[in-house]
Structure 1
Amino acid sequence: MIENIIFCEECRKDVAYIETEEIFQNELKGEAFEYKGKKAVCNECGSEVYVAEIEDYNLKALYDAYRTKNSIISLENILAIPEKYGIGKRPLSLLLGWGEMTFSRYCDGDMPSKQYSDILQQIYNEPAFYDSILETNKNKLKSLSAYEKSKRVTEKLLGANNIPLAKIDVVIEYLLCICEDITPLALQKVLYYIQGFYYAFMDEFIFEEDCEAWAHGPVFPNIYHRYSSYRFDPIEGSVTCDEPVLTIYEKTIIDSIIKNLCCYSGKILERFTHSEMPWLITRGDLPVSASSNRIIHKKELGKYFKVVKERFNMINPTDIENYSTKMFEQIN
């Protein structure tokens, strides 16, 4: 058993202490409250000693007593809302038309007004109420992905029969969960490599979607438009990471690409793709900066990555490291 040790002002030395339960009376915002708290007592002289953790506990107990008496939502319920509805603290504040940091302050212990508390309590209790806010105010969110994620989570709570996510969306959710600082540019290139290397190892494509040979490399157009508002900033991932609906083979290949290619910036990955045949063949004689929606045909993509697998003697997906290292050396 670990013994609690603290400095005792009376004994003038470090001593063991015990915790006892006490009934305290204190004032908060002009009101008197009685609540159950804790007290730390020196084991040697019996005097009260200061323990920061116990003081924090007692302060929370006082605030909880205030919340209960005034029907203010509990801190526990506030903290549960983002996870329950799959939305970040800042996006939730924007959705509610509050200051961007308002909900974050409540999560840190600030006391909401009764009006705001009632809204949060109703959100916590009633998924249908939250869903109506989400639909009405979705234009206040900075990204479509935040809305889509929260919508799916909310529909599950409401018992809706959801259409299964497309495999590309499952992969994106996994990438955003694992790669905390992936930008829209990097995401496009990583999806391209997942598509290519999955075919190289499995003889089939993981996505149905085609990518196009844009000026800055391969791009999946619908995914580009979904995250274009982030521009050069990392895409905001989910608050929670659900277990992805991926097979063991899919996850093994994706994890290797995360390890060996997500370590590079989007601009570096763009330079990789500019030296690879699928993009070069599709662009043809187009000027470097010219816009284009030419599709990189899966036949060309699959053929190239099959050759890469053979050339680099890839036995399993961990060998993708050999290719990424060589490509980085080649562009420097």
Structure 2
Amino acid sequence: MKDNLVFCEECRNDVTYTITEEKMNGTLKGESYEYMGKVARCTECGKEVYVAEINDYNLKALYDVYRKRNGIIALDKVLEISEKYSIGKRPLSLLLGWGEQTFSRYCDGDIPSKQYSDILQQIYDDPNYYNEILEQNKNNLKTTTTYEKSKRKIKSILGINSVSKPKIDVAISYLLNQCEDVTPLALQKALYYIQGFYYAFYKTFLFSNDCEAWVHGPVYREIYNRYSGYHFDPIKKTEDFDVSVFSVLEKAILDSVIKNLCCYSGKVLERFTHSESPWIETRGDLSVDVPSNRIIDKKLIGSYFIAVKEKYDMLTPVDIKVYAQKMFEEM
């Protein structure tokens, strides 16, 4: 019960108190406002006593009346915005072009100007409006991860299907946008390594597609047919690619493969795969120049890359660089 005691100046002692609701008047920014507040009174003498929580309640009640009369967004709506759109307080301020602490202050109870309030109210009411701001001002954010997380949430709210294309097609779009001069040969090997390392880290395959053990290494036949016209030339980049379609885990693998393996040419990556057991075992006794459509069993791919991850003590996808460097040194 000690936590429920407050000091009464009349009784000169710590006392219990009762709480009643009463009409109150307060002044804010030069204007007088009437509101329903609370009063704490000593149970011994009946005098009003100070209780911090009651004082905070009354201040909020005064602010709420002020907000309502002046068309200022309610505090509870301000507090909901970050969670609604999966974006932090500081990133939202940056996205809106405000001071980095501005939105945080509004969440702490500061009253926004009418101009800023109208913006927040429209963001709260209209997800399409927020989506426009997110796209127009995404470069204001400090990390792409912040953008991607919020973009996934807004797509969910708007009912936009972000997985309308097969994952392998989405991965290809990302690779072509992030890499320079991706030939059909290099693309095939990049997809193979994404598939293998994704399984090694997350025990599931990113693609449902099967690859075959061709003369020049693992090949996804459908993808080969799609880009075969480029021959040895780089594939044209796709446009308007939306990176937010990837989960954080998926993007971590793609980014590491791009950084640590796509820096090598398609011919170098071909030589890597020629020394790896999935391709070797699937080819069996075929000579190196004999065509084959034998499918590389996903179990072979999974077990091989799990073994690689364990051998090189990989803790995160960033550690793929150790394997890439070792393979290059052993060529």
**TM-score (ref. length: structure 2):** 0.54
Aligned to 2:16, the other structure's residue is in SS state: strand
Distance 2:142 2:67 in 1: 32
Kept in 1: contact 2:92–2:103 (CA 8 A) = yes
Distance 1:308 1:133 in 2: 44
Instruction: Confirm or deny that 1:301 pairs with 2:305.
Output: yes
Please list, as runs of the form range in 1=range in 2, the aligned pairs for 1:108-187 lying within 5 A after superposition: 108-163=108-163
Distance 1:220 1:4 in 2: 51
Aligned residue for 1:67?
A: 67
Cα 1:103–1:199 change in 2 (3 A) is closer
Deviation string 1:25-60 (CA, Å, 9 cap, x unpaired) is 111100000000000001111000110110011011
Instruction: Confirm or deny that 1:49 pairs with 2:49.
Output: yes
Quote the sequence identity (%): 55
Cα 1:55–1:205 change in 2 (3 A) is closer
Q: CA deviation at 1:226?
A: 11
Cα 1:57–1:163 change in 2 (3 A) is same
**RMSD between superposed Cα atoms in Å:** 3.7
The amino acid of 1:149's aligned partner reads K
Cα 1:307–1:110 change in 2 (3 A) is closer
Aligned residue for 1:81?
A: 81
Kept in 2: contact 1:196–1:205 (CA 8 A) = no
Instruction: Confirm or deny that 1:11 pairs with 2:50.
Output: no
Q: CA deviation at 1:306?
A: 7.2
Distance 1:307 1:161 in 2: 39
Kept in 2: contact 1:95–1:133 (CA 8 A) = yes
Cα 1:88–1:53 change in 2 (3 A) is same
Kept in 2: contact 1:3–1:16 (CA 8 A) = no
Kept in 2: contact 1:145–1:226 (CA 8 A) = no
Cα 1:138–1:225 change in 2 (3 A) is farther
**TM-score (ref. length: structure 1):** 0.54
Aligned residue for 1:223?
A: 255
Distance 1:113 1:226 in 2: 46
Kept in 2: contact 1:10–1:45 (CA 8 A) = yes
Higher Cα Rg, which structure: 2
Cα 1:50–1:220 change in 2 (3 A) is closer
Distance 1:41 1:152 in 2: 51
Aligned residue for 1:321?
A: none
The amino acid of 1:52's aligned partner reads A
Kept in 2: contact 1:199–1:306 (CA 8 A) = no
The amino acid of 2:305's aligned partner reads L
Please list, as runs of the form range in 1=range in 2, the aligned pairs for 1:201-216 lying within 5 A after superposition: 205-208=203-206
The amino acid of 1:117's aligned partner reads S
The amino acid of 1:206's aligned partner reads T
Cα 1:207–1:51 change in 2 (3 A) is same
Kept in 2: contact 1:144–1:226 (CA 8 A) = no
Q: CA deviation at 1:224?
A: 4.9
Q: CA deviation at 1:90?
A: 1.1
Q: CA deviation at 1:16?
A: 1.1
Aligned to 2:18, the other structure's residue is in SS state: strand
Distance 1:138 1:70 in 2: 31
Unaligned runs of 5+ in 1: 167-194, 210-218, 228-277, 283-296, 310-332
The amino acid of 1:32's aligned partner reads S
Q: CA deviation at 1:207?
A: 4.6
Distance 2:307 2:151 in 1: 39
Q: CA deviation at 1:71?
A: 0.5
Kept in 1: contact 2:199–2:205 (CA 8 A) = no
Kept in 1: contact 2:95–2:134 (CA 8 A) = yes
Cα 1:196–1:131 change in 2 (3 A) is closer
Unaligned runs of 5+ in 2: 168-195, 208-250, 260-271, 277-300, 314-331
Cα 1:92–1:3 change in 2 (3 A) is closer
Distance 1:307 1:135 in 2: 42
Distance 1:145 1:220 in 2: 11
Deviation string 1:221-279 (CA, Å, 9 cap, x unpaired) is 6335999xxxxxxxxxxxxxxxxxxxxxxxxxxxxxxxxxxxxxxxxxxxxxxxxxx9x
The amino acid of 1:301's aligned partner reads F
Distance 2:78 2:118 in 1: 11
Instruction: Confirm or deny that 1:20 pairs with 2:52.
Output: no
Aligned residue for 1:100?
A: 100
